């Protein structure tokens, strides 16, 4: 059996990864890009603008860390406003949606292979998995 | 059986965590502090100055991301110099040491419970595990 493997991201080769430079490589919103993988987890970058659909992830916690701009993680009971250098953990099973009134740049951390819209399939927002930059 | 559990870090309560503010809470070098936990992984902050012992971690990949200052991850074959917003992955089993000529602030990502000196016990550098701020 011949299993092809995508080229590893820079980080797997013990190479420096510059986050700002990686953000210059794409412009689209809500489409996460993998920049590093470790211990079955993926570090991803995503640009966001507008409001994402409500969803949750079974058995997966997510971390959102703001790199640039302002970003909001909404839960059914409250909203958490984040600026640069601020993060929040969304525990598994907790319904949430994310939003940004102006474009923001976010660092995501979650297990490999997570679908961005969780339990929901959305024509506009569901993004391909496994995209590396 | 009564298992006590330490108070969760802020991130587990869906609260905002401000990285800069967390770094103001301690001054010692080479003693990682947990600021968030997810999917069996820990996000830690560490201040560094000087040179850490050579070591490796069996079955554990580590990510080093520079928050402030300049930081060097040395391997037997090369060294990777990192500035703010730059990261490197140290794959499991790979011998390495870290160094900073001036104080630097680093964000660490690795599985929960990792000993900072890996396969080595060092009177000066081996740090307690599970310390949250």
A64: which 2 tokens?
């959102």
Q: Identify whether the C-beta of residue B43 lies closer than 8 Å to the C-beta of residue B9.
A: no
Dihedral of CA A71/B61/A9/A2: which sign? Answer: negative
Query: Nearest-CA neighbor of A132 among A25, A15, A59, A13?
Result: A25
| pLDDT per position as a tens digit, A46-78 | 999 999 999 999 999 999 999 999 999 999 999
A5 touches chain B (CB under 8 A): no
Is pLDDT of A3 > 80?
A: no
pLDDT value for B13: 77
Are B82 and A36 in contact (CB < 8 Å)? no
pLDDT value for B130: 93
Torsion (CA) A49, A51, A53, A58 in degrees, nearest 10 = 70
pLDDT value for A12: 54
Are B89 and A12 in contact (CB < 8 Å)? yes
Q: Give chain B positions within 8 Å (CB) of A19.
A: 65, 85-87
pLDDT value for A13: 77
Task: Pick B80's closest partner by Cβ from A16, A41, A82.
Answer: A16
What is residue B55's DSSP assignment?
B
Q: How far does B121 lie from chain A, in Å, by closest CA?
A: 23
So what's the ipTM on this one? 0.90
| pLDDT per position as a tens digit, B70-112 | 999 999 999 999 999 999 999 999 999 999 999 999 999 999 9
- The Cα-based distances of B40 to A38, A86, B132 in angstroms read 12, 21, 15
Q: Model pTM?
A: 0.91
> Which DSSP string corresponds to A51-72?
EPPPB--TT--EEEEEEES-EE
Q: Give chain B positions within 8 Å (CB) of A11.
A: 63, 87-89
pLDDT class of B7 with cuts at 50, 70, 90: very low
Q: Identify whether the C-beta of residue A107 lies closer than 8 Å to the C-beta of residue A59.
A: no
Q: Give chain B positions within 8 Å (CB) of A41.
A: 39, 41, 109
Strand partners of residue B42? B37, B110
pLDDT value for A11: 46
**Nearest residue of chain A to residue B74 (CA atoms):** A14
Strands B33-38 and B86-90: unpaired
| pLDDT per position as a tens digit, B15-70 | 999 999 999 999 999 999 999 999 999 999 999 999 999 999 999 999 999 999 99
Task: Pick A86's closest partner by Cβ from B18, B75, B78.
Answer: B18
Are A82 and B16 in contact (CB < 8 Å)? yes
pLDDT value for B11: 46
What mean pLDDT, rounded, does chain A reach?
Answer: 92
Among A residues 112-131, those touching chain B with beta carbons less than 8 Å apart: none
B4: which 2 tokens?
């006590």
pLDDT value for B12: 53
Name which of A63, A75, A110 to mutate to probe chain B: the one with the most chain B Cβ atoms within 10 A of its Cβ.
A63
């Amino acid at each position: 059996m011949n299993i092809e493997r995508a080229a590893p991201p820079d980080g797997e080769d013990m190479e420096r990864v510059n986050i700002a430079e990686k953000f210059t490589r794409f412009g689209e919103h809500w489409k996460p890009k993998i920049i590093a993988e470790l211990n079955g987890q993926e570090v991803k970058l995503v640009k966001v603008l507008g409001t994402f659909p409500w969803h949750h992830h079974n058995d997966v916690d997510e971390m959102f860390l703001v790199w640039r701009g302002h970003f909001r993680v909404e839960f059914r009971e409250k909203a958490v406003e984040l600026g640069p250098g601020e993060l929040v953990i969304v525990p598994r099973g907790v319904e949430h949606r994310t939003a940004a009134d102006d474009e923001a740049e976010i660092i995501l951390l979650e297990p490999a292979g997570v679908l961005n819209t969780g339990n929901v399939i959305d024509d506009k927002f569901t993004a391909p998995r496994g995209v590396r930059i």
